[in-house]
Amino acid sequence: MITGHLGVALAARGQWPVVSLFWLLGASIAPDLLDVAYALSGICSPYGLYSHTIPAAALIGAVLGGIAFLATGSRAAGMLTAGVVLAHLPLDFVTGNKIFWPGGPLLGLRLYQRPLQDFLVEVPIALGGWWMLRRRGRGPRWAIIGVAALALVVVQGTFDLLQRGLKPSGCRWAATSAPSLPRENR
Ligand SMILES: [Zn+2]
């Protein structure tokens, strides 16, 4: 999932304006950012083992939530940050195919294999979040203008059109994609 995550951050900030929107947007895609960092450093994290399993997400949520708490002094900011990180997993279940526990089975509805359906699922979540933030009037101007909504739709459409191989992986076997192994998903 791509813009659906951002929609969660937008909605969360609209509901609880306790920490910066920019921070929440980052928290919402933190497991994916971590995957990119792993790939850049050549670390193999098969099927999201070190980024998308429940223990990994709990750790990311605790670290980022702790940083938010220390930076703002607000317990609500820490809790909201951790919650936004954890919301990443159920959303990725809809679109991807990952393990949720070390050694667990691959789970997910794999909507990425049906780009149109993925678009139709993610865009309403993204725009719903944008609309909630805008309606509450608690977001920075750049996030609540119409151009921001348009950008979400364009970004999602671009990802769905070009989706193959967009996410880098540090796993050598993923690059050669052995036929018996399903493709790694975002
Ligand atoms: Zn993800």
Residue 35 Cα, ligand 1 centroid: separation in angstroms? 8
135-181 residue pLDDT tens: 998 889 999 999 999 999 999 999 889 876 567 788 876 544 444 45
Residue 52 Cα, ligand 1 centroid: separation in angstroms? 7
Amino acid at 67: I
| Cα maximum dimension of the chain | 50
Q: What SS3 state is found at 106?
A: strand
106-142 residue pLDDT tens: 999 887 788 899 999 999 999 999 999 999 988 899 9
Q: Fill in the DSSP letter of residue 99.
A: E
Residue 42 Cα, ligand 1 centroid: separation in angstroms? 18
Q: How many Å apart are CA 153 and CA 122, to the nearest integer?
A: 9
- Identify the pLDDT of residue 186: 56
Residue 5 Cα, ligand 1 centroid: separation in angstroms? 8
Q: How many Å apart are CA 83 and CA 14, to the nearest integer?
A: 14
What percent of the chain shows pLDDT beyond 70? 91
Rg over alpha carbons for the chain, rounded to the nearest Å, is: 16
Q: How many Å apart are CA 47 and CA 171, to the nearest integer?
A: 10
Residue 67 Cα, ligand 1 centroid: separation in angstroms? 21
Contact in structure between 157 and 34 (CB atoms under 8 Å)? no
Contact in structure between 156 and 3 (CB atoms under 8 Å)? yes
Domain extents in the chain: 3-165
Residue 73 Cα, ligand 1 centroid: separation in angstroms? 29
What percent of the chain shows pLDDT beyond 90? 70
Residue 151 Cα, ligand 1 centroid: separation in angstroms? 20
Phi, psi of 185 (to 5 degrees): -115, 165
Q: What angle do helix axes 21-28 and 75-86 make, rounded to 10 degrees?
A: 30
Separation of CA 48 from chain center? 12
Q: Tell me what the pLDDT averaged over the chain comes to.
A: 90
59-95 residue pLDDT tens: 999 999 999 999 999 999 999 999 999 999 999 998 8
**Confidence band of 185 (pLDDT split at 50, 70, 90):** low
Number of Cβ within a 10 Å radius of residue 13: 27
Number of Cβ within a 10 Å radius of residue 139: 20
